[in-house]
């Protein structure tokens, strides 16, 4: 389960939620102004650390992310099950057709 941290800013409109690792990098950075990066690429957002009032774990975001991950995983499993069922039905139909049609080959 991935942890998320809500960074509470002085101006509450600018509160953000970031993965734990990103929050740790922001707070450990010696720079006053820190660029937010995702996968090593700047997102276009910056944080002025003097505006940070508090941080706390964002359990709601964690729950939402877990739901999305579970939903994606279940959809993938469902697709595999549906494909296997469709293949089984197709094989049954082909077997029925084969019984009704007598194909003779001429040599």
Is the pLDDT higher at 89 or at 80?
89
Is 104 inside any structural domain?
Answer: no
Is 107 inside any structural domain?
Answer: no
pLDDT reading at 104 higher than 60: no
- Domain match, 15 and 52 both: yes
Give percent of the chain with pLDDT exceeding 70: 82
What domain range includes position 16?
A: 4-57
Split into its structural domains, the chain has a count of 2
- Domain match, 38 and 18 both: yes
Is the pLDDT higher at 16 or at 107?
16
pLDDT tens, position by position, 13-47: 889 898 998 889 889 989 999 888 877 888 888 88
pLDDT reading at 73 higher than 80: no
pTM score above 0.75 = no
Is 74 inside any structural domain?
Answer: yes
Is 105 inside any structural domain?
Answer: no
Question: How far, rounded to the nearest angstrom, does the alpha carbon of residue 71 sit from its chain's CA centroid?
Answer: 9
> Is the torsion defined by CA of 77, 79, 83, 88 positive or negative?
positive
């Amino acid at each position: 389960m991935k942890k998320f941290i809500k960074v509470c800013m002085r101006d509450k409109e600018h509160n953000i939620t970031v993965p734990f690792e990103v929050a740790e990098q922001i707070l450990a950075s010696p720079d006053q102004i820190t660029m937010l990066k995702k996968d090593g690429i700047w997102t276009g957002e910056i944080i002025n650390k003097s505006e940070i009032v508090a941080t706390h774990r964002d359990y709601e975001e964690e729950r939402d992310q877990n739901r999305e991950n579970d939903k994606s995983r279940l959809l993938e499993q469902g697709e595999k099950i549906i494909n296997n069922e469709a293949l089984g039905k197709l094989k049954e139909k082909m077997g029925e057709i084969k019984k009704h049609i007598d194909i003779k080959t001429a040599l």
